[in-house]
Structure 1
């Protein structure tokens, strides 16, 4: 295997990250500089000198947040389509975390400087509910609920192709796509278990409206699983077909959230209406079906 591919695979680094390590001469093979194309051989001694992590300051930013619920421990947000949840290098502004820091001043520090308070996330173009921890006690409780599945998340999606059955479960492990490091895939290599349950709410001529509940929380799980069973989420530029509904991203909405309050131990249920773009597409499909 080529040296650069070997580093990507073993350390789970992106191609860009690996290329920069090589360009900065941070990779040594048997104590010598080496090219990315060099083929790895048995007995090679590889040294990688990782640069120290940079502390990136995340600045509070005033923005209108759709707050569904808030108390001293947690805040439940209805995230709009198009908003990134947490900052990343090259994208340190206009994220949900920037807005939360302005609104709350303080969030749990368990996930570090770039992801304060973030217990779980939803993709940029997925809309809907997520809960944020305002202190470490709440964060630890919510993280434990994710593990034992008492924190429940229910999504709505419009997917390609009608179904012949009304309920189903996709039980297929998800890991990094070997051909494209920016994507996830159903794979047996370096993967983790992933389970998605779904119910068909309405079938249309070319699409279906479904509800999904997650048993696990892998990156892009619903999008990957639905594409795997040949029902990709409509509007999805990453996992869907080229010919799809133009909706500025995948038609996926985190509609319901159930959790046990970290302090009071009360069972709580939250629900958010469909994103306007999603609701418009669904109404058009229903109107088309009624006139057929």
Structure 2
């Protein structure tokens, strides 16, 4: 994926999907917020017409993306300590701490996992482009946990396929307010951006998507509960 210039795509998928979500899949080295900013600035055209973020692409659509040459930051190595759970010739498993971004989101930003990985070694996959070397998946800034990092492109593609096919089982620990009505169960609800803005998510929010999550109660206090959570849809 080029990080500047013009990118062109022909939609092959049968199922309609939002423009920004489609482009995020095609250009994984760019953040969704960056893609949305390009749409707002009129830098993305569908069938030769400037498009809107909520447009649903369909099979046969031709998309052109104009990427500014200085649109994304290029990470640099930084000697940040890494908690390495596993390492071999093909991959690394990192214990990402809470409070660390996976990759920079604006020019000159440091202290991210990518900065630390670049300092650890130069053997990282190039599938994600120069902005996200080795990054197969991501965790939110405030979420800690294991992240798999690919050292070569075949490993990256194989791991990405396992995530895409949901072969990988994700397990989270979540401290939640209140007490669930049952000790274990399944939550099926559409989740989207909160109308109140910011990064808050809510049931039946804007541009909601189907979400299925299983949970199991581990411990309870008066007003809090510790849950083991398995997201099945993302």
Q: TM-score, normalised by structure 1?
A: 0.56
Does the C-alpha gap of structure 1 residues 157 and 214 become closer, same or farther in structure 2, counting only changes over 3 Å?
Answer: same
- Match in the other structure for 1:82: 99
Greater strand fraction, Structure 1 or Structure 2: 2
How far apart are the structure 2 equivalents of 1:178 and 1:53? 33
- Match in the other structure for 2:41: 21
How far apart are the structure 2 equivalents of 1:154 and 1:71? 23
Does the CA contact (< 8 Å) of 1:81 and 1:124 recur in 2? yes
- Match in the other structure for 1:58: 75
What root-mean-square deviation, in Å, do the aligned CA atoms of Structure 1 and Structure 2 show?
A: 3.1
How far apart are the structure 2 equivalents of 1:193 and 1:91? 36
Does the CA contact (< 8 Å) of 2:83 and 2:96 recur in 1? yes
Q: Computing the radius of gyration over CA atoms, which structure comes out larger, 1 or 2? A: 1
**Which deviates further from its counterpart, 187-196 or 134-143?**
187-196
**Which deviates further from its counterpart, 153-162 or 107-116?**
107-116
Does the C-alpha gap of structure 1 residues 49 and 59 become closer, same or farther in structure 2, counting only changes over 3 Å?
Answer: closer
State the shift of 1:189 in Å. 5.9
- Match in the other structure for 2:56: none
- Match in the other structure for 1:143: 160
Does the CA contact (< 8 Å) of 2:73 and 2:104 recur in 1? no
How far apart are the structure 2 equivalents of 1:64 and 1:14? 28
State the shift of 1:76 in Å. 0.3
How far apart are the structure 1 equivalents of 2:121 and 2:115? 10
State the shift of 1:176 in Å. 3.9
Count of residues in correspondence between the two structures: 186
Q: TM-score, normalised by structure 2?
A: 0.68
1:186 corresponds to 2:203: yes
Q: Which digits, 9 at most, give the CA deviation of each residue in 1:206-240, with x for residues without a partner?
A: 000110012122xxxxxxxxxxxxxxxxxxxxxxx
State the shift of 1:18 in Å. 7.5
2:216 to 177, 190, 199: 199
Greater helix fraction, Structure 1 or Structure 2: 1
Does the C-alpha gap of structure 1 residues 169 and 113 become closer, same or farther in structure 2, counting only changes over 3 Å?
Answer: same
Unaligned runs of 5+ in 2: 1-17, 22-31, 45-63
- Match in the other structure for 2:5: none
1:125 to 100, 118, 142: 142
Q: Which digits, 9 at most, give the CA deviation of each residue in 1:181-208, with x for residues without a partner?
A: 6444433764433221110111211000
Does the C-alpha gap of structure 1 residues 91 and 205 become closer, same or farther in structure 2, counting only changes over 3 Å?
Answer: farther
How far apart are the structure 2 equivalents of 1:18 and 1:105? 31
